[in-house]
């Protein structure tokens, strides 16, 4: 089965001809070695150059199932780090290559152990979490050291991070440890999920998350942003999704540099295991004809026998389906990229504008290139985690539709692992903190965007209908808003509130709430506040009122200040406000409404009042007031029609032997 699509081939040829705009930097010339008699060894990984002699070469390489997801392009050649078995496939297919480094694990180990930061220890730099430290594996934490870090985090911050718990076991029986960070797990909050080391040779994916976790914990109560995230989000972390592969690398290369990628299921005769990031469903993704995975168990992109055939991916699937994660990071390294769905389909998702907007903000500081797989690396990936987490816009019987915002950061550039044009599967110790800092903002924003996020568009506006405050009277002002957007991935209860320092002003309603689903915006919304000006206020006095728009669980809010002026003359205590001359039933506001509105009526004298609501057939649907005594003056009653269908309703006032009726319209 082909593992590289025609569209991928066309994209890569275009990039080669016109130059890569992503993270593939130009590298110094490397003269391929002429070694036709050398027999590649199955247990080694090699740095090679593949001349692109014809327009078919890249397609031929991809069709063999060779892992080309971390390659460099220089002039008319492809440079990659491939297994001995993959080189044999190239040779059998008649594709020439030159070997530059015969043992990448040994090369990485030499680079890692000679790094001055690894030798001398991590310096205490300003802004670096106090408890963040390097690991013993070339600066990277081993599996046991990750476990110790999780235990230490809970020991130091038991109220902010849970004890570690296993979401399942690997093929060889190791636990897949996971923790939650949140100050309150009892109250439902928007959820974000971070995972790493699904590929065993990519430890920088994990190190940057450990850095972020320490930043959250140590800055809680000190930094407003860290405190907001811990108080208003539930953040889950699975740091080592592939513990068997990672431990295999440690046992064989204890100083770092191990090149095993897959889990350790005993399949194939060489390079055993399944590529966990090609093992996700549903079937329409896992077996898509676009290619991007291999059916050959000896290759690095072997997809397994079926979607979720591996205990590691099944554990991740079970855990995430039991929670409502709104945003997800599936961490990898390297390439300085931020990739989003689709990987298997040669198109973007229905949420492409959201993915682009989030990615633009997340990469504002680290300048990672963002886009789909085809837009960033020029190849398809079927059976990858991003596609499964997002799902299909409409399942159509083929699979689930989750619509989570799921992305893959590829941490690090071409030279973070060593000198020359080497890769960065194993970043040098001196690069671990800078690379972690590069991804601090994306990690923060992933949690922030999981919840509601109030944003104002370019043409946003909030206008008032009145800025007069009549002395001794009750008055109202309407406000109209437009361009208010819920930029987050959780529904929002948008709240408008009003306040003033003027002691002679009393607000009779100081909040107004409106529902705004994620991804939606208000093209126009009108509501009002009612206030009363004291009878002894001084005429012509100017005062400020502040209208604030915000939402629970949103990191953003906006405020506007307006100047009001008192009008009229002071009212003596004997005269009081003018009373209605007759029974009056005002039009409700707002009208039309959804789902609530306010009814207003006035009494010339104290009276017993009944106020009822009927549907258009005359059927009583709700009694708002029954036999209650009211004083003379103006009064208001709220009516909530959340459980009623759209339609025309009548509201009827009975008082002092009189009956008044008006109509109102509910539109849902």
What is the helix (H) or strand (E) element at residue 441, kind and residue range?
helix 440-450
- Name the band, by pLDDT with cuts 50, 70 and 90, for residue 28: very low
What pLDDT is recorded for position 399? 54
For residues 9 and 59, is the Cβ–Cβ distance under 8 A? yes
Residue 466 clears pLDDT 90, i.e. is over it: no
Please state the pTM of the whole predicted model: 0.82
d(CA 156, CA 160): 9
Specify the range with the lowest mean pLDDT, choosing from 18-32, 135-149, 260-274: 18-32
What pLDDT is recorded for position 17? 36
Residue 18 clears pLDDT 80, i.e. is over it: no
- Clarify whether residues 496 and 584 are in a common domain: no
- Clarify whether residues 47 and 36 are in a common domain: yes
- Clarify whether residues 95 and 118 are in a common domain: no
For residues 533 and 505, is the Cβ–Cβ distance under 8 A? yes
- Whichever domain contains 51, its CATH number is 3.30.70
Residue 338 clears pLDDT 50, i.e. is over it: yes
- Name the band, by pLDDT with cuts 50, 70 and 90, for residue 8: very low
The answer to whether position 308 is within a domain reads: yes
What percent of the chain shows pLDDT beyond 70?
91
Mean pLDDT of the chain: 88
What pLDDT is recorded for position 141? 98
The answer to whether position 213 is within a domain reads: yes
- Clarify whether residues 241 and 340 are in a common domain: yes
What pLDDT is recorded for position 268? 81
- Clarify whether residues 176 and 143 are in a common domain: yes
- Clarify whether residues 319 and 263 are in a common domain: yes
- Cβ burial 390-424 (10 Å sphere, 16+ → b, else e): bbbeeeeeebeebbbbbbbbbbbbbbbbbeebbbb
What pLDDT is recorded for position 10? 37
CA angle 99, 64, 6 (to 5 degrees): 115
What pLDDT is recorded for position 4? 40
What pLDDT is recorded for position 123? 81
Residue 350 clears pLDDT 50, i.e. is over it: yes
- Clarify whether residues 513 and 567 are in a common domain: yes
Of the residues 548, 578, 608, the one at which a domain ends? 578
CA angle 78, 337, 88 (to 5 degrees): 30
Specify the range with the lowest mean pLDDT, choosing from 22-36, 130-144, 201-215, 349-363: 22-36
- Whichever domain contains 307, its CATH number is 3.40.630.10
Instruction: Provide the domain limits for residue 516.
Output: 452-578
The answer to whether position 1 is within a domain reads: no
Specify the range with the lowest mean pLDDT, choosing from 69-73, 105-109, 257-261, 466-470: 69-73
Residue 288 clears pLDDT 70, i.e. is over it: yes
The answer to whether position 43 is within a domain reads: yes
Q: Is the peptide bond before 503 cis (omega within 30 degrees of 0)?
A: no
What percent of the chain shows pLDDT beyond 90?
63
Which residue in 410, 453, 485, 654 is the catalytic one? 410
- Name the band, by pLDDT with cuts 50, 70 and 90, for residue 522: confident
Question: For 45-60, what is each residue's pLDDT tens digit?
Answer: 998 888 887 767 777 7
Of the residues 520, 547, 578, the one at which a domain ends? 578
Rounded average pLDDT over 246-255: 98
Question: For 555-591, what is each residue's pLDDT tens digit?
Answer: 999 999 999 999 987 765 555 567 888 899 988 888 8
Residue 394 clears pLDDT 70, i.e. is over it: no
More confident residue, 394 or 12: 394
The answer to whether position 444 is within a domain reads: no
More confident residue, 12 or 79: 79
- Clarify whether residues 622 and 525 are in a common domain: no
Rounded average pLDDT over 271-298: 92
Q: Is the peptide bond before 590 cis (omega within 30 degrees of 0)?
A: yes
Rounded average pLDDT over 492-500: 94
- Whichever domain contains 465, its CATH number is 2.60.40.10
What pLDDT is recorded for position 571? 66
- Clarify whether residues 403 and 485 are in a common domain: no
C-alpha separations of 502 from 66, 399, 537 in Å? 73, 59, 10
- Clarify whether residues 343 and 209 are in a common domain: yes
Torsion of CA 161, 152, 197, 110, to 10 degrees: 150
Number of domains in the chain: 4
Highest mean pLDDT among 12-21, 163-172, 560-569: 163-172
Strand ordering across the sheet containing 584-585: 584-585, 596-603, 633-640
Residue 27 clears pLDDT 50, i.e. is over it: no
The two beta strands, 468-470 and 558-567, are parallel
- Clarify whether residues 119 and 266 are in a common domain: yes
The answer to whether position 152 is within a domain reads: yes
The answer to whether position 460 is within a domain reads: yes
d(CA 320, CA 324): 7
- Whichever domain contains 662, its CATH number is 2.60.40.2550
Torsion of CA 342, 345, 347, 351, to 10 degrees: -40
- Clarify whether residues 524 and 666 are in a common domain: no
410 an active-site residue? Answer: yes
More confident residue, 418 or 110: 110
Of the residues 525, 559, 578, the one at which a domain ends? 578
């Amino acid at each position: 089965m082909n593992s590289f699509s025609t569209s991928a081939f066309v994209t890569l040829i275009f990039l080669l001809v016109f130059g890569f705009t992503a993270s593939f930097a130009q590298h110094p010339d490397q003269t391929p070695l002429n070694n036709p008699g050398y027999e590649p060894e199955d247990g080694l990984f090699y740095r090679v150059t593949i001349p692109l002699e014809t327009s078919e070469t890249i397609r031929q390489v991809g069709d063999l199932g060779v892992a080309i997801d971390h390659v460099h392009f220089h002039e008319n050649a492809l440079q990659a780090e491939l297994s001995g078995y993959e080189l044999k496939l190239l040779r059998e297919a008649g594709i020439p290559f030159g070997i530059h480094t015969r043992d990448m694990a040994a090369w990485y180990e030499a680079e890692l152990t000679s790094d001055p930061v690894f030798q001398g220890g991590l310096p205490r730099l300003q802004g670096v979490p106090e408890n963040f430290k390097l690991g013993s594996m070339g600066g990277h934490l081993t599996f046991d050291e990750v476990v110790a870090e999780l235990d230490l985090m809970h020991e130091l911050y038991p109220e902010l991070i849970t004890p570690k718990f296993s979401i399942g076991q690997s093929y060889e029986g190791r636990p897949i440890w996971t923790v939650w960070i949140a100050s309150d797990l009892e109250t439902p909050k928007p959820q974000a999920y971070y995972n790493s080391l699904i590929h065993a040779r990519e430890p920088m994916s994990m190190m940057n998350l450990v850095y972020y976790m320490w930043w959250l914990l140590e800055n809680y109560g000190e930094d407003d942003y860290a405190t907001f995230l811990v108080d208003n989000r539930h953040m889950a972390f699975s740091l080592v999704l592939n513990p068997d592969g990672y431990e295999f690398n440690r046992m064989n290369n204890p100083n770092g540099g191990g090149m095993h990628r897959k889990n350790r299921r005993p399949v194939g005769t060489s390079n055993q295991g399944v590529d966990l990031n090609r093992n996700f469903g549903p079937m329409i993704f896992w077996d898509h004809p676009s290619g991007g995975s291999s059916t050959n168990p000896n290759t690095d992109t072997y997809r397994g026998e079926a979607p979720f055939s591996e205990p590691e991916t099944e554990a991740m699937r079970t855990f995430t389906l039991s929670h409502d994660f709104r945003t997800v990071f599936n961490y990898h390294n390297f390439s300085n990229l931020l990739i989003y769905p689709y990987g298997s389909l040669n198109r973007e998702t229905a949420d492409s504008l959201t993915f682009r907007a989030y990615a633009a903000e997340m990469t504002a500081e680290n300048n990672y290139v963002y886009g789909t797989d085809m837009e960033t690396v020029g190849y398809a990936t079927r059976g990858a985690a991003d596609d499964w987490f997002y799902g299909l816009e409409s399942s159509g019987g083929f699979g689930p539709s989750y619509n989570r915002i799921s992305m893959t950061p590829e941490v690090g550039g071409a030279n973070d692992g060593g000198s020359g044009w080497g890769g960065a599967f194993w970043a040098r110790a001196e690069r671990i903190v800078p690379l972690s800092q590069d991804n601090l903002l994306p990690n923060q924003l992933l949690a922030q965007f999981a919840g509601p996020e109030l944003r104002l568009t370019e043409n946003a506006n909030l206008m008032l209908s009145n800025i007069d405050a009549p002395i001794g009277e009750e008055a109202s002002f309407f406000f109209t808003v437009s361009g208010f957007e819920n930029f987050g991935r959780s529904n929002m209860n948008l709240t408008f509130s009003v306040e003033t320092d003027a002691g002679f002003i009393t607000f009779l309603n100081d909040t107004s709430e409106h529902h705004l689903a994620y991804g939606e915006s208000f093209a126009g919304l009108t509501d009002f506040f009612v206030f009363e000006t004291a009878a002894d206020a001084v005429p012509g006095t100017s005062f400020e009122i502040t209208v604030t728009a915000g939402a629970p669980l949103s990191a953003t809010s906006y405020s506007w200040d307006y100047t009001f002026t008192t009008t009229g003359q002071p009212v003596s205590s004997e005269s009081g406000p003018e009373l209605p001359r007759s029974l009056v039933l005002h039009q409700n506001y707002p009208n039309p409404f959804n789902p609530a509105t306010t009814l207003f009526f006035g009494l010339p004298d104290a009276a017993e009042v009944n106020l009822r609501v009927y549907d258009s057939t005359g059927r009583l649907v709700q009694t708002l007031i029954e036999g209650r005594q009211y004083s003379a003056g103006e009064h208001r009653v709220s009516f909530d029609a959340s459980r009623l269908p759209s339609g025309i309703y009548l509201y009827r006032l009975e008082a002092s032997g009189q009956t008044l009726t008006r109509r109102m319209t509910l539109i849902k």
